[in-house]
A and B are shown apart, each in its own frame.
Chain A
Amino acid sequence: MSPVITMGPFHPALEEPYKIDVVCEGEHVTDASIRVGFNFRAIEWLAERKNYTADIALFEHVCGICSNVHTLCLSRAIETLAGIEVPERAQYIRVVVAEAERLHSHLLWAGIACELIGFETLFMACFGLREKIMDVLEAISGNRVNYAMNRPGGVNRDIADPGAVLAAVRAIADATSKQLIPVLTTDATVRARCAGVGVLTRADAIAYGAVGPTARASGLPQDIRASAPYEAYDRLLFEVPVRQEGDVFARVVVRALEILESCRIIEQAIEQMPAGPFRGDDYPKVPAGEVCSRIEGPRGEVFYYVASDGSDTPTRVRVRTPTFANMPTARPMVLGQTFADVPLIQASLDPCYSCTDR
């Protein structure tokens, strides 16, 4: 008898509703199927009925954790379509906010991964660090999660106190390199839970279209920030960490190294940031046409397609969130693994179901 164990839609390992039916033989997983759609809000349909300014606020709410990537990607799509130049200062501010969001997202993920392997002390340490970057984001934008920073043609707010951002980021880089990374990479119990678990081969990563840290941990060096630089990324030095193993441990290491890279990027951006205007015209005139826009979110490539008929309302907005691409890879990852690893494996993708469901 192989029992089907249902995880979700409500389960202590998941922050959001989704369902994974796991077929087990003993403790080993022989099959798995994933159900999403519990959070479906038809945001793409709504977007076709609201003007561009309201749409940016609408897409801010696709996700609670990576809200900035959605407004940034949509703003960039509108700018490309309307031919708007973004002032240089705004480009740097966008980079700072985007990387701060990556820090916050990766630290949140690291904490949850620790919690799933029962390592509560490390979970608290990660969330303590995350609190620092949340404070920075609140100081910049006035809110902890939905930053409302981007508008077509610039950003809504200036960074009033770059020194405080720099200090917080340095503290995070310091704690990450001195405390978090050594524990995550050398602790015997963490290694025992993560190394060799949930392997996604390079071939599977390509076939399933994996993006972001998931792809990079499987040996695919893809990063939109490097391959098609946007905003100020072409003027900033950073590395794209890639690992070949494809297991949970590789994904832990990739994200941990990305935390350090993000700190590096923010430091450079704050130092290079020129003075000047940071926002453009209030109402962009969007001509008829269609455009694609891609940026590298914390979880991977965010893709927007916007079609316009020249009015103040788009005719179609299509969003492909990173989790939408990454989530199906959970199936090849869990096959043959033990049931105890399933929560950790699905979490190692850094899944965001509200993003996926839209």
Chain B
Amino acid sequence: MNILNIITGNVARGPQTVRFPGREAPAAAYRGSVTMDAAKCLACGICDYVCVSRAIAVTPGAASCEWTYDPGRCTYCGRCVDHCPVAAVTQAGDRGDSYARSGAQRATVTVPYPACPQCGRPAMPYNEAVLGAAFGDVSAELRERIHLCERCRRRATTAALKANFGAAAETGRSDDGR
């Protein structure tokens, strides 16, 4: 009569029901809704690429990038957090609020493109860690150029190339002994 042991155990222990709102806090690793820190964002769009349910959308604009997130679509898989190269995307550790209307918690974060130090036009955001991962040893020249907007960077690169070619051409000409 083992079932009687279970029953007497239950009676002796008392009800196990947790009365509202006495709910246990979620585990430390809990995967809640996603937030994004615009200050860290590179606007690379990886979170959009890995998002299975299209809860995250990254829409690049002229001077800034729109990052939208809809918890109603989110599957809370955490892929965006795992794959973000600069840890700009994080997940809340709590269960969040309930809501009644579809899309009520949709969030939009605008990631402004920093101004180009030369011309003032929008340039792409940059991050030291990613720069290191992409190029290994970062030369002073590269670090200086990375802040520029695309146009200024192209110009700077062309100028540098021209300068190099020019020097080579100068020496070549002199070597020619014409």
> Which A residues form the contact surface with B (CB < 8 A)?
50-51, 53-58, 60-61, 121-122, 124-125, 128, 135, 138-143, 146, 148, 151, 156-157, 160, 179, 182-183, 186-187, 282
A124 contact set on B, CB distance < 8 A: 10
Number of inter-chain CB pairs below 8 Å: 78
Nearest CB in chain B: distance from A118 CB, A: 13
B76 touches A143 (CB 8 A): yes
- Closest-by-CB residue of A relative to B50 is A53
Interface status of B72 (Cβ within 8 A of chain A):
no
A54 with B3: in contact, given A142-B31, A143-B76 (CB under 8 Å)?
no
Within B109-148, which residues are at the interface with A (CB < 8 Å)? none
A141 touches B6 (CB 8 A): no
Interface magnitude class on chain B: 20 to 34
**Interface segment out of the listed B22-30, B63-71, B167-175:** B22-30
A54 interface neighbour in B28, B79, B91, Cβ under 8 Å: B79
B6 touches A51 (CB 8 A): no
A140 with B29: in contact, given A57-B75, A146-B75, A146-B77 (CB under 8 Å)?
yes
B30 touches A142 (CB 8 A): yes
A143 touches B30 (CB 8 A): yes
B31 touches A143 (CB 8 A): yes
Complex CA–CA separation, A160 to B2 (angstroms) = 37
25 example contacts (A-B, Cβ-Cβ < 8 A) are as follows A54-B52, A54-B79, A56-B79, A57-B50, A57-B52, A57-B79, A58-B52, A60-B75, A121-B3, A121-B7, A124-B10, A128-B16, A138-B27, A141-B31, A142-B30, A143-B30, A143-B31, A143-B76, A146-B75, A148-B76, A148-B79, A179-B2, A183-B6, A186-B2, A187-B3
> Which B residues form the contact surface with A (CB < 8 A)?
2-3, 5-7, 10, 16, 26-31, 49-53, 75-79, 82-83, 91
B53 contact set on A, CB distance < 8 A: 57
B52 touches A50 (CB 8 A): yes
- Closest-by-CB residue of A relative to B82 is A156
Nearest CB in chain B: distance from A108 CB, A: 17
Interface centre among A60, A135, A138 (most CB of B within 10 A): A138
A60 interface neighbour in B7, B31, B77, Cβ under 8 Å: B77
A121 contact set on B, CB distance < 8 A: 3, 6-7, 10
Complex CA–CA separation, A228 to B49 (angstroms) = 35
Interface centre among A124, A143, A151 (most CB of B within 10 A): A143
Complex CA–CA separation, A141 to B91 (angstroms) = 13
A142 touches B27 (CB 8 A): yes
Q: Other than A142-B29, A142-B91, A186-B2, give 19 A-B pairs with Cβ distance below 8 A.
A: A50-B52, A51-B50, A53-B79, A53-B83, A55-B52, A57-B53, A60-B77, A121-B7, A138-B26, A138-B27, A141-B29, A142-B78, A143-B30, A143-B31, A146-B75, A146-B76, A151-B82, A160-B29, A282-B83
B77 contact set on A, CB distance < 8 A: 57, 60, 146, 148
Nearest CB in chain A: distance from B78 CB, A: 5
Nearest CB in chain A: distance from B18 CB, A: 11
Complex CA–CA separation, A346 to B164 (angstroms) = 79
Nearest CB in chain B: distance from A55 CB, A: 8
- Closest-by-CB residue of B relative to A128 is B16
A135 contact set on B, CB distance < 8 A: 27
Complex CA–CA separation, A55 to B75 (angstroms) = 13
B27 touches A179 (CB 8 A): no
B6 contact set on A, CB distance < 8 A: 121-122, 125, 179, 183
Complex CA–CA separation, A56 to B91 (angstroms) = 19
B27 contact set on A, CB distance < 8 A: 135, 138-139, 142
A51 contact set on B, CB distance < 8 A: 49-50
B79 contact set on A, CB distance < 8 A: 53-54, 56-57, 148
Nearest CB in chain A: distance from B51 CB, A: 7
Nearest CB in chain A: distance from B10 CB, A: 8
- Closest-by-CB residue of B relative to A122 is B3
Complex CA–CA separation, A122 to B76 (angstroms) = 33
A139 touches B29 (CB 8 A): yes
A183 touches B3 (CB 8 A): yes
Complex CA–CA separation, A54 to B53 (angstroms) = 8
- Closest-by-CB residue of B relative to A187 is B3
Nearest CB in chain A: distance from B152 CB, A: 31
